[in-house]
Chain A
Amino acid sequence: MPKPVPTQQLISDLLEGDRLALARAISRVEDDAAEAARIVRAVFAHTGRAHLIGVTGAPGTGKSTLVSALVESYRASGVTVGVLAVDPTSPFSGGALLGDRVRMTGHSGDAGVFIRSMATRRGTGGLAKASADAMLLLDAAGFDRILVETVGAGQAEIEIASVADTVVVVEAPGLGDEVQAIKAGLLEIADVFAVNKADRKGAARTVAALEMMLETGGAAAQTIFHHGQRMETGAATSETEAGDGWSIPVLETVAVSGGGVDELRDALERHRAWLGESGARTAREGRRLDHMLQTLVQAEFLARMERTLSPALRRDLVERMQRRETDPYSAAADSMKKLSP
């Protein structure tokens, strides 16, 4: 095995736009928390330029195909694109089958495109823990737009709203009735709706249901709680800053043929312009960084807990609880005292 490239070298090559350095840096932030800190520290000053677009939706709605079509549309307009495609890690084996590239061929040989698949590993909410870091690296490497495709999301996988500037929720005809559309969660985080497979029966009904939901919808909660973590949604911005006027468009697309994809790209560019003019871009970036801060502090706490609360110590506490010498709350309070740095 050859010696691995030193991190400093990797960072400077990445900032020059070297693709292999970028790929290796993403692996290091995924694999090693200490390396992630080192690399992100070094590149952070070079980030903040790219427009971060999240693409989410239920499995089978055509997210990967739509992302690929969007890449093509962006490339035709001369803009460079980085793609992060997230697929789930098996909770049983720890392995993952990352298949989004199957739908993303056709960009071969184009230096303006970089596609990376990422397994969720221990991440929750439809993204990997390293997703936010990888987005920073793609940004630092100079890509103009970064498309992040989440895992096929159910109704509450809304992590993407706290890491993207713009969220596209992809729907497809025939997945549910109007009541599905007014349920909480995924639909509340959309800045743009794409009803994909719009050549299929029922597309008009899906569009109508979404439009009805948008017309009748009240403001989404500004602060939400997800996996015990405080999060602030993007959709709240469009509602609370409605004075600046972003009305959420519902667009029809047929990703396989490219139908409606340029219009979707236009809507994303309009949203990008709106974010800049209304000041929402700064607000969202602030929320994103606050989210990263909380996530990192939480991870550090967890690591500290694992270091301090040894299995032997926990066993001892459990036995004391079983003898009713102490109770779960007192045991937790005692444990907390041991956590001091």
Chain B
Amino acid sequence: MKDSQIRVLVAKPGLDGHDRGAKVIARALRDAGFEVIYTGIRQTPQMIAEAALQEDVDVVGLSILSGAHMTLCPKVIELLHAQGQEDVLVLLGGIIPDEDAVQLKAAGVHAVFGPGTTSAEIIDYIRTAMAGG
């Protein structure tokens, strides 16, 4: 009997404490049938990578509103790759300037979701990516 579930880590790296967005997304992903591991605020990239490993997640969703995304995101990706999790989908939500988004995608972020993104778009993105699309 198979019972595969998509597991998503929702984390807030850095020092801003604005976790409303992360919590709304966590809840929406749960309602979409995913298993969501929520880690809370003020996580270091090391803590996030470690949680992603122990939880064997398929997706890491980062919510950053502090402006520190150019430092934090590449660090998380570097750590994930170093520990053998190159296949994990990394998503970023927050206020990210377009030119930064381009660079971050080049650095391994799979998608960037800015203000106005609906939960349904994120859920669809994850489902499509997990189906191998």
Contacts and interface: CB of A to CB of B under 8 A. Distances in A.
Interface in B27-58: 27, 29-40, 43-44, 46-47, 50-51, 53-56
A93 B31 contact: yes
A23 B40 CA distance: 21
Contact of A27 (B37, B44, B56, B132): B56
B35 A108 contact: no
Given A27-B7, A32-B4, A121-B3, A95 B29 contact: yes
B9 to A, nearest CB: 9
Interface stretch (B80-88, B98-106, B108-116): B80-88
A108 B44 contact: yes
Contact of A95 (B36, B39, B40): B36
Contact of A101 (B2, B4, B37): B37
Interface residues of A, number: 35
B128 interface: no
Contacts of A272: none
Contact of A99 (B38, B50, B86): B38
Size range of the chain B interface in the assembly: 35 or more
A332 interface: no
Contacts of A26: 56
B76 interface: no
Interface string B1-41: 11111010000000000000000001101111111111110
B89 to A, nearest CB: 10
Contacts of A31: 2-5
A96 B39 contact: no
Interface in A219-271: none
B73 to A, nearest CB: 19
Contacts of A116: 54-55
A33 B1 contact: yes
Contacts of B40: 101-102, 105
Contacts of B26: 97
A196 B39 CA distance: 23
A98 B36 CA distance: 6
A282 to B, nearest CB: 31
Give the most central of A2, A20, A101, A303: most B CB within 10 Å: A101
Contact of B53 (A2, A23, A109): A23
Contacts of B83: 20
Contact of A96 (B4, B35, B46): B35
Interface of B: 1-5, 7, 26-27, 29-40, 43-44, 46-47, 50-51, 53-56, 83-87, 132
11 contacts: A1-B87, A19-B54, A20-B84, A31-B5, A89-B35, A95-B30, A95-B31, A95-B33, A97-B36, A105-B39, A303-B1
Interface of A: 1-2, 19-20, 23-24, 26-27, 30-34, 89-90, 93-99, 101-102, 105, 108-109, 114-117, 119, 121-122, 303
Given A30-B3, A33-B3, 4 more contacts: A95-B33, A95-B36, A97-B30, A108-B47
